[in-house]
Amino acid sequence: MRYASDDTLSTLQHLGTSCLSIDSAQFNRITVDQEGIPYIIYSDLGESKRGVVQFYDGENWQYAGARTITPAGTNYTDISSSPNGHIYIVYNDNIVGGKATVQRWNGKDWKLVGLPGISEGNTSFNSIAVAPDSSIFIAYKDEGKSDKVIVQKWNGNNWFTLGSTEGISEGACSWIDITVDENNIPYICYQDYRQEGKIVVKKWNDITWTTLEQPTLSRGEASYGRILAKKGILYVGYRDAGLNNQLIIQQWNGQQWSVLGNRAVSTASASYFGMDMTSNNELFVAYTDFGKGGLLSVKKWTEKGWEQIIHDSRSYGKVSYTDIAMSNDIPLILYSSEACKQAVSVLSYTSPQNHLPIVTPELDAHTTLQNNQIRVSFNQSLQTPFDVRLISLDGKLIYQQTHQMTEEDQTDLVIPTFIIPWKLYILNIATSEKIFSMKILKQ
């Protein structure tokens, strides 16, 4: 029997292999579907800057459809998942003059959502979000509308504009991000150059866009803006040039904004960041940290303040195009890195207490899946009682129960599949004498 000592159990490891793209990757974004499967999108220099979408099947990264999913080079890609399991992407489509195009992945094929080239002109800072009722919202900077922010919603047949068709920003804009809360209400943040380049946050009220509390939030010019609405909580984050380009996160309490911890997340200049929240309302952020020479930083908000969860990220080198998403409360960090010659990789973070020993020998058994249950049939007798443990491939304990077999079910163990978020996982059976293990694929 082989056990891994505590000091060898890393809390941060690559999900699958690293360096996923052919060459340098840009405009990276990540989302997670209802089964906890992560999808990533990026523009790959090795594919003539065409857009690539990959998903993790529990063991390896696979391409969603063809190796590239845009007919030409693209920029400003974004991705979002819907409650019905579909994946949506928006990108700058150079086949139609750099206008915005949206596609949907149904698990087998990519289909256009509307016509190619939704926008009036060339777009940048494209953002997409899918509501709990599966409504689709996109936002972008449109050169055909004096570089202002345009927001559109899909009605099932056509795209229609929310707010003014000439743009909802006062002036030209950058760094746009859109999110939707549990009540299907969209929120948007952007940098408005008519407002001294500061960040603006607005909410759609079914008739018009309203500014939350004040015209601008940042002290100086705000870049890399991101917004997150989840479980009744609204966060906005940005790099503030008025605060030495540090990363600031603010929370909306329904009446006013307040800076989390009354201080910046980063201790120096930051860029390329993402944020997401667990089911327990734990907020995680990942960003490029120039206080560490451009290395990766990942922090978690706690009652005591911002907690650094990566203490040494030198092995990844300098990073860019960083993003983060939760898969069954496991933070997945997407980034391009110097160590991979700017190719894209994904890291998985697991709390140390969730790691279990690596064990042998293999369990002599086979499984069947029916009626939302997995039945494990043993080809050997086991001493009871024994502990049953299901472990995701990134080391998180997702199910544990002590089992006492009766004479009638002496060789069978039944596990409900609803508690299994991954398609591939490790089953451990721990008796008083041994710990058996096997890999099981959930079809």
Q: Which residue has the higher pLDDT, 122 or 362?
A: 122
Low-confidence winner among 28-37, 351-360, 391-400 (lowest mean pLDDT): 351-360
pLDDT band at 355 (very low <50, low <70, confident <90, very high): very low
Low-confidence winner among 71-75, 222-226, 422-426 (lowest mean pLDDT): 422-426
123, amino acid identity:
T
Give the closest residue to 236 by CA, choosing from 268, 204, 265, 201: 201
DSSP state of 265: S
| Residues whose CB falls within 8 Å of the CB of residue 212, separated by 6 or more in sequence, listed in order | 187, 201, 202, 203, 252, 257
pLDDT band at 61 (very low <50, low <70, confident <90, very high): very high
HEC string of 193-238 equals HHHCCEEEEEEECCCCEEECCCCCCCCCCEEEEEEEEECCEEEEEE
What is the pLDDT averaged over residues 238-256? 96
124: left (phi over 0), alpha (psi -120 to 50) or beta: beta
Token representation of residue 280: 């327990």
The half-sphere exposure of 54 on its side-chain side, counting CA atoms within 13 A, is: 25
Q: Tokens 């920003």 — which residue? A: 169
Provide the pLDDT for residue 64.
Answer: 97
pLDDT band at 325 (very low <50, low <70, confident <90, very high): very high
Identify the CATH class of 10-352.
mainly beta
Provide the pLDDT for residue 315.
Answer: 83
Residue 373: is its pLDDT beyond 90? no
Provide the pLDDT for residue 338.
Answer: 94
Provide the pLDDT for residue 279.
Answer: 86
Residue 118: is its pLDDT beyond 60? yes
Would you list the domain boundaries of the chain?
10-352, 365-441
Q: What are 328-353's pLDDT values in tens digits?
A: 888 999 999 999 999 999 999 876 54
CB 335 within 8 Å of CB 345: yes
Q: What are 159-189's pLDDT values in tens digits?
A: 999 999 999 999 999 999 999 999 999 999 9
Q: What is the C-alpha to C-alpha distance for residues 88 and 31, in angstroms, rounded to an integer?
A: 10
CB 175 within 8 Å of CB 126: no
- Listing DSSP states for 65-108 in one string gives SSS--SSSBEEEEEEEE-TTS-EEEEEEEGGGTTEEEEEEE-SS
- Listing DSSP states for 278-329 in one string gives -TT--EEEEEEEGGGTSEEEEEEEETTEEEE--S--GGG-SEEEEEEEEETT
The overall average pLDDT reported for the chain is 86
pLDDT band at 361 (very low <50, low <70, confident <90, very high): very low
- Listing DSSP states for 357-399 in one string gives ----SB--EEEEEETTEEEEEESS---SSEEEEEEETTS-EEE
Pick the CATH number of 365-441 from 1.10.357.10, 2.60.40.3080, 3.40.50.300, 3.40.50.720: 2.60.40.3080
Residue 245: is its pLDDT beyond 80? yes
Q: What is the C-alpha to C-alpha distance for residues 323 and 41, in angstroms, rounded to an integer?
A: 11
Q: Tokens 């020479």 — which residue? A: 293
Provide the pLDDT for residue 270.
Answer: 97
pLDDT band at 285 (very low <50, low <70, confident <90, very high): very high
Length of the chain: 443
Provide the pLDDT for residue 352.
Answer: 52
| End-to-end Cα distance, the chain | 30
Provide the pLDDT for residue 378.
Answer: 65
Provide the pLDDT for residue 418.
Answer: 56
Provide the pLDDT for residue 396.
Answer: 65
Q: What is the C-alpha to C-alpha distance for residues 293 and 268, in angstroms, rounded to an integer?
A: 10
